[in-house]
Amino acid sequence: MKILQILPELNVGGVETGTVDLAGYLARQGHQSIVVSNGGELVARLEASGTKHYTLPVHKKSLWTMFWSIKALHKIILEENVDVVHARSRVPAWIAYFACRKTKAALVTTCHGYYGSRVFSQVMGWPKLVIVPSEVIGRHMIEHFRVSPSGIRYIPRSVDLERFRVPRADTAGKSFFTVVIVGRLTPLKGHTFFLRSMAKVIRAMPNIRVWIVGDAPAGKQAYKEELQLLIKRLGIQGQVEFLGNRRDVPQLLAQADVLVLSTITQEAFGRVILEAQAVGVPVVATKVGGVVDIIEDGRTGLLVPAKDIDAMAKAVTRVLNDKKTAAQMAVAAREKLEREFTLEQMVSRTIRVYEELMQSINILVIKISSMGDVVLVTAALKALRAQYPHAKIYCLVGKDSRKVLQNCPHLDGIIVDDPKNKYKGWWRTFLLSHKLRKYRFDKIVDFQNNRRSHLLAFLSFSRESYGYDNGKWGNLLTHPLKIYRNDIPAVEHQFQLLKEMGIAMPPDAALELWPSAKDRQYIQELLESEWLGNIPRMVGINIAASEKWQTKNWPVEHIARLCDLLAARNIRVLVTGMEKDRPVVQRLMENTRSKPAVFVGRTDILQLAALIGRCSVYITPDSAPLHVAAAMKTPLVAFFGPTDSRRHRPPARHMVVLEKKLACAPCYSPRCLVMTHACMREITPDEVLQKVEELMGAKV
């Protein structure tokens, strides 16, 4: 694998040390390791381990600098053919997030801090997988950053035992004790509480020296001066020494009798605790954040409440005076360290996350329109599943269409866009995009192809989005298809888009629907109620298209005539439709002598599929039931008039299209502009009967 880690700088610190340790181990294991930072004193050690380093100003919060860094990092990712980008801080995470777009590189973040849930910090929870060093940070990311629990990977920090395999200083005849604190000089590390505590210890045990390892960040030396003033006020300046940033931390720890961690906020982990335990130094630490994942109070160290200087002083005094207990805690801590916190364990867990990322793909298909249009995407869903057998595939549909895909074996989930949501307009779109972002989609296939769907694809922040460049904000897509045909059937039209993803249309592409056993049982009982349970020859007729498209409907008197012709040949007829079609049914029953079985308004979409599946032949205008019949492999007769069969016919093995090529057709008008409705009226019951007889028995 080719792994790129990105962090602000490579100076002294737990994040920096962990990055260098991981990079070196990856290189030794044969992976290509790359690090991007603003540089620092650890670069030489990093490069000596076989890792390539790029220097970019990824530590600056300037928008212009970040924009420039995004372009530079994007170029590095492409040139180095990077597989995974691992961001370890917030500014680098923003840069990496946008640099990874239009590349194959997957992004993962590690949360090294207890971030405030501000907009600036949200990016740490955006990747598909988020690494946390402690359980408290994991809960924080779930509760305050809305990261899915399934996206959290717990990998505690580690320590390179070989680097800290330093012999302890000989304590025989030693006349003083050494207490050490290691960390940046910042108020969050609780140095003021530590010093007040040490003043109490020194008054009880004068033979104490205190080492403060670490320094204040550049431009924040005022805090160090405050600490120096506090030391003078406490009268312990003779026992306290500032050692600054040091590279010989293992050697310094080897001379210490106790390490104190006095952090007052939720510590993400506490790497210095592991370093002390690796050397064999007992630890006293505040009970904050991830510290409790490392120290078992009284067994592998001592925990005290944050800001409690009396408790801290008492714990330090106990360690210094009770050598037997201190030694037992040091041994137990070392044993736990070797079981749970070694560099090898951390690296192997991290590599597993990288491998999981590379194998994991989340795909969204957008089709929010009518039921019939949703049925038409089932062939595409099957092809996507065949191409990406291990991906998680979801489909965004409208509320009324969701049941079409209820039992779809090619999907991992359905996301519903409810038009009756209390929020309307663009605000509803923005809220839906926020919901979609939680899925961390890698690819979006937009079969809806309107302004709203293109905007949803863009705001979902997927790495790749596919759709048509049709003048409806197609530039918001990462892969807009500019050259395509519109004069071909819908399924072929969809596969033009899938071809951009390397998916060819199979020669046997077909629609599918999946009525359940419960749906089929319901239809059996429904048929039996009309004395049709065991009838071998049944023809179904869809009485009307949608309410909007009255021009698609075959005249009701033609339907009545056909019902009588079929009945004369001992073929039973059943009529399907929606609740709105009952007035049309009434007119039908007034015009026919044969009285067909009426199932109008008595089925949902999957029950209708089960019903159509029982028919020998199904007759319908261009509407959702046309696609349902094709999905159920039922031979069918399809009427086309105001719409073009070349564009709207579904793939079907046994289908007859009846279409009159009039000068005014196809008009794509819901109302007949010449007031004759000739395109549908000229399709006669006798020619339909002829086609039914030809298809009868063709069902397989």
Taking only the tens place, the pLDDT of each residue in 275-329 is 999 999 999 999 998 899 899 999 999 999 999 999 999 999 999 999 999 999 9
pLDDT of 229 > 90? The answer is yes
What number of residues does the chain have? 700
Taking only the tens place, the pLDDT of each residue in 529-569 is 988 888 888 999 999 988 788 889 999 999 999 999 999 99
Question: What confidence score (pLDDT) does residue 175 get?
Answer: 76
Highest mean pLDDT among 91-95, 460-464, 481-485: 91-95
pLDDT of 434 > 90? The answer is no
Higher pLDDT, 115 or 674: 115
Full DSSP string of 289-311:
TTHHHH--BTTTBEEE-TT-HHH
User: Model's pTM, two decimal places?
Assistant: 0.77
Q: Which CATH superfamily is domain 2-154 in?
A: Glycogen Phosphorylase B; (3.40.50.2000)
- Percent of the chain past pLDDT 90, that is, above it, reads 69
Full DSSP string of 137-193:
HHHHHHHHH---GGGEEE----B-TTTT--PPPP-TT---EEEEEES---GGG-HHH
Lowest mean per-residue pLDDT among 8-22, 286-300, 384-398, 410-424: 410-424
Bridge partner residues of 108 (DSSP): 86, 129
Question: What confidence score (pLDDT) does residue 270 get?
Answer: 83
Select from 3.30.230.70, 3.40.50.10090, 3.40.1350.10, 3.40.50.2000 the CATH code of 517-695: 3.40.50.2000
Does the fold of domain 361-499 match that of domain 2-154?
A: yes
Taking only the tens place, the pLDDT of each residue in 84-99 is 999 999 999 999 999 9
Bridge partner residues of 575 (DSSP): 541, 598
Domain boundaries, the chain: 2-154, 177-341, 361-499, 517-695
Question: What confidence score (pLDDT) does residue 171 get?
Answer: 61
Q: Which of 220, 162, 198, 208 is nearest to 25 (CA)?
A: 162
Question: What confidence score (pLDDT) does residue 698 get?
Answer: 53
Question: What confidence score (pLDDT) does residue 12 get?
Answer: 76
Taking only the tens place, the pLDDT of each residue in 285-299 is 999 988 998 999 999
Higher pLDDT, 158 or 169: 158
Question: What confidence score (pLDDT) does residue 700 get?
Answer: 36
Question: What confidence score (pLDDT) does residue 157 get?
Answer: 85
Lowest mean per-residue pLDDT among 33-37, 115-119, 507-511, 570-574: 115-119
Q: How confident is the model at residue 263 (pLDDT cuts 50, 70, 90)?
A: very high
Between the CA atoms of 360, 361, 362 and 368, what dihedral angle is there, to the nearest 10 degrees?
Answer: -160
Q: How confident is the model at residue 675 (pLDDT cuts 50, 70, 90)?
A: confident
Question: What confidence score (pLDDT) does residue 104 get?
Answer: 87
Q: Counting beta carbons within 10 angstroms of the beta carbon of residue 298, is it exposed (0 to 12), middle (13 to 18) or buried (19 or more)?
A: exposed
In contact, 320 and 256? CB cutoff 8 Å: no
In contact, 523 and 611? CB cutoff 8 Å: yes
| Domain 177-341 bears CATH identifier 3.50.50.60 | no
pLDDT of 609 > 90? The answer is yes
pLDDT of 699 > 50? The answer is no
**CA separation for the pair 457, 388 (Å, rounded):** 20
pLDDT of 62 > 50? The answer is yes
pLDDT of 458 > 50? The answer is yes
- Any idea which residue has 């805090």 for tokens? 223
Q: How confident is the model at residue 46 (pLDDT cuts 50, 70, 90)?
A: very high
pLDDT of 400 > 90? The answer is no
Question: What confidence score (pLDDT) does residue 446 get?
Answer: 95
pLDDT of 219 > 80? The answer is no
- Percent of the chain past pLDDT 70, that is, above it, reads 98
Higher pLDDT, 342 or 329: 329
Contacts of 127 (CB under 8 A, 6+ apart): 87, 97, 106, 107, 108, 109, 151, 440
Q: What's the sign of the alpha-carbon dihedral 416, 422, 428, 432?
A: negative
**CA separation for the pair 589, 567 (Å, rounded):** 14
Select from 3.30.1490.100, 3.40.50.2000, 3.40.50.10320, 1.25.40.340 the CATH code of 361-499: 3.40.50.2000
- Chain centroid to CA 594: how far? 57
Q: Counting beta carbons within 10 angstroms of the beta carbon of residue 122, is it exposed (0 to 12), middle (13 to 18) or buried (19 or more)?
A: middle
**CA gyration radius, the chain:** 36
Angle at 424 between CA 422 and CA 428, to 5 degrees: 95
pLDDT of 421 > 80? The answer is no
Question: What confidence score (pLDDT) does residue 599 get?
Answer: 94
Question: What confidence score (pLDDT) does residue 266 get?
Answer: 83
pLDDT of 629 > 90? The answer is yes
If you ran DSSP here, which 8-state letter would residue 674 be given? T
Q: Cα-flanking dihedrals φ and ψ of residue 171, to 5°? A: -95, 0
pLDDT of 136 > 60? The answer is yes
Q: Cα-flanking dihedrals φ and ψ of residue 621, to 5°? A: -75, 180
What is the number of other CB atoms lying within 10 angstroms of the CB of residue 175? 5
pLDDT of 630 > 80? The answer is yes
